[in-house]
Chain A
Amino acid sequence: MRGITKAFPGVRALDDVDFTLHAGEVHALLGENGAGKSTLIKILTGALERDSGEIRLDGTSVDFQSTGEAQSHGVSTVYQEVNLIPAMSVTKNLALGPSEGWPGVISWRKARARARAKLARLNLDIDIEQPVGSYSVAVQQLVAIAHALDNETSVLVLDEPTASLDAQETATLFDIVRDLKQRGMAVVFITHFLDQVYEISDRISVLRNGGLVGSAMASDVSRKDLISMMIGRELGEVEAAYSGKASPQTGKEKLVAKGVGRRRTLKPFDLTLRAGEVVGLAGLLGSGRTELTKLVFGAIRADSGSLKVNGKEAGSHSPRRSLAAGIAFCPEDRKAEGLVGELSIRENIMLSIQSKQGWLRRLPRGQQEQIAAEMIKALAIATPDAEKPVRQLSGGNQQKVVLARALASRPDILLLDEPTRGIDVGAHAEIITLIRKLCSEGLALLVASSELDEVVAASDRVAVLRDREKIGEIVGGEIRRDNIIRVIAGDDDRQH
């Protein structure tokens, strides 16, 4: 790709970017949110039209009008948010898209055979007649990769493939990627996990603000250099953010859960959240982190135990009552549970505070704009204005909008489920800093995260989960990677 340029209204998304991909290599594409990674990929795969520049595939100039056309030329993509149809079986999902034989005629016998072959290539052994939605996100991700691959694929783009995978699954994926590489495939790998970049990549390119900062062999560039290339500031600041932890506090009890649980969801647990304290939730994927936060928020109804908020018994629990009681919640899956894509940033931010106010007492437009502007500034949401539909924002900025909505409702207790999922290093640090700052202002925080480093960096106390059960708490100075891992499973060897 040579001199690729793309402008959106108000933003120059890509400015004269060169990008070269060699057969048989894994090429990591890095950059902060809004750096232009997604745009570059979309242009490569025909999802967007470029304004200028040239794309050459095996020496010939190409101009893909659609992703289908790109795919027929061997360029396939697996996007960050899994694009499968959850209610349809694995076979049917894999049968979608270009097919052999008569158009519109599907032989299910052949489709099943093909589905099995595709999954076998990824060493994935699952029941192909089950709906895709019945599998974990990780398996769905692998099915999506299987869907993207066919015999002609020469370029495979993986957009944050590991964002929702645990260590084991990531390792499996990397084995597959190495295998594909051996077969001469060129793989573009977009991620925020620097460990993984070094683990799998041969070459690294970094984008920032729509421009190419640099491109180098992975062995030639250090982590520190890489991070500063990405965020354009000294790493010291980021480290400072991570090490800003205060000592454990013993603030006022804001939330006390006793024996709260739900059958088949999470075993009853006790948990106390105090003002000015961050409680981390650690555990593997599927250990019950999300379920715990949702039980506390009332998004999942508990069938046992009691919950006290600010000393008052919270009877029948629901998100509405929780908000009224001063609890706010940022869900993990921002697309499905976090944002209303068609609504503007302002409207999304207003939603919780307005439902707290009731429908009759609408906040005047001026006040709405003021709150939205404050939030955009405080969380450094990159947008020309607050009226932009939220679906047009990049992933990290969308996450910030979810956070902004929770904060706008002025909660005493804030529950964050994977607050940094799919967010780049810079924003990551910003959010961790923000969490610490909110905490120092007396907020009680519960942070569930699959990133152990994040839990370690942010928390004053860590609750550890395993197999849908809370199995322990770690406090203060004891909060270290190795300790947490030991609690989760003495010999479980986590990779990052």
Chain B
Amino acid sequence: MQSRAIWPLLALVLILIVAGLISPGFYEIRIVEGRLFGNLIDILYRAVPTALVALGMAVVIGTKGIDLSVGSIIAIVGAVIVWRIKMGDPHVAILFIALGAGILCGMWNGFLVAALGIQPIIATLILMVSGRGVGLLINQLYGGTDPSFESAFLQGLSTGSIWYIPTRLVLAAGIFAALWLLIRRTALGLFIEAVGGNAAASNLAGVNARLIVFFAYVLCGLLAAWAGIIMTADTHTSDPVSVGLYIELDAILAVVIGGGSLAGGRIYLGMTVIGALVIQSLTTATLISGLPPEYNLIIKALVVLTVLFLQSANARRAIHRLVYRRAS
């Protein structure tokens, strides 16, 4: 674990150092409009939705599954929020309705995977493909012509601040802590890892593998809903077609950068957050670098490739051998 944790952390530090070289004021943190303000804060701030989605993804990947529908869940949650606001529901209730929508989506995925035994990549593809359409249909419920809204409560959760600290960071820390307690302070983490490692053996050892898998998708849906709430409240508009597009790929990437394996069987919650930070710091650094946007994706691909290369046991062994042979 320790040795594995080094590479993503090293990557994060390196990206931040390079960003500092490109942009002299990169590390500056000030207080603007009653909250902390600066590139480093931005990275944390902007990484929150990806990190939340990635945490859910880490749990699902732990069961040897995958959830491609998280972006669509975000779209649905966004559409539900605007719809209920236009219907005049109290905004606190809307928060719970939105979370409920995410849970419902997760239950759908969990049902397909755990009860019907459909392969996760196919099962979640269904919602991935149809979810944005569902979002558009929900927009139709109130006419859908003006999907923007104002909500002091919801926007406060996303863009507000508590004691100079952006509220969403506090919120994300709370969610992380709750998730960590759920996974590591109950036996759920052990069960998920056991089921992901060997479902047949877990079943014979008395673990209810189906229920565990089902629950993992529900959890993933719930976390995607939180991300959806934060993203929707951020722009206070619902855009089912493009909100959270490709976030599932960033989330999977964050899990993998954090040392998770798609073969399942292990959950690294903390490292997954680091993975999300690596991705976001890369994005932020590219944005301020002044490079033409055509390079964004190439730079991302190169850095990710490097991190994964360094994590690969085979590559490390090869490097070690090379150095060792040189030396001797």
Contacts and interface: CB of A to CB of B under 8 A. Distances in A.
A350 B190 CA distance: 9
Contacts of B198: 336-337, 339-341
Interface in B195-230: 197-198, 200-208
A84 B128 CA distance: 35
B265 interface: yes
Contacts of A351: 190, 194, 202, 205-207
Contact-residue size bin, chain A (C-beta under 8 Å from the other chain): 20 to 34
Given A347-B193, A347-B194, A351-B194, A342 B265 contact: yes
B208 A343 contact: no
11 contacts: A299-B204, A319-B204, A320-B206, A320-B207, A320-B208, A324-B206, A336-B201, A337-B204, A350-B190, A355-B208, A359-B191
Contacts of A329: 204
Contacts of B201: 331, 336-340
Contacts of B236: none
Interface in B166-196: 185-188, 190-191, 193-194
Given A360-B186, A362-B186, A355 B191 contact: yes
Contacts of A299: 203-204
Interface of A is mostly: helix
B46 interface: no
Given A323-B206, A362-B187, A343 B194 contact: yes
Interface in A337-367: 337-343, 347, 350-352, 354-363
Given A323-B206, A362-B185, A336 B200 contact: yes
Contacts of B202: 340, 351
Contacts of B208: 320, 355
Given A352-B205, A355-B187, 8 more contacts: A299-B204, A322-B206, A340-B194, A342-B197, A351-B190, A355-B191, A356-B206, A359-B187
B266 interface: yes
A373 B125 CA distance: 45
A324 B208 CA distance: 13
Contact of A342 (B187, B203, B205, B266): B266
Contacts of A341: 197-198
A92 interface: no
Most buried by A among B186, B187, B202, B207: B187
Nearest to B184: A362
A339 B202 CA distance: 8
Nearest to A364: B185
Given A340-B197, A343-B197, A351-B194, A357 B205 contact: no
A405 interface: yes
A324 B207 CA distance: 11
A484 B149 CA distance: 82
A297 B185 CA distance: 30
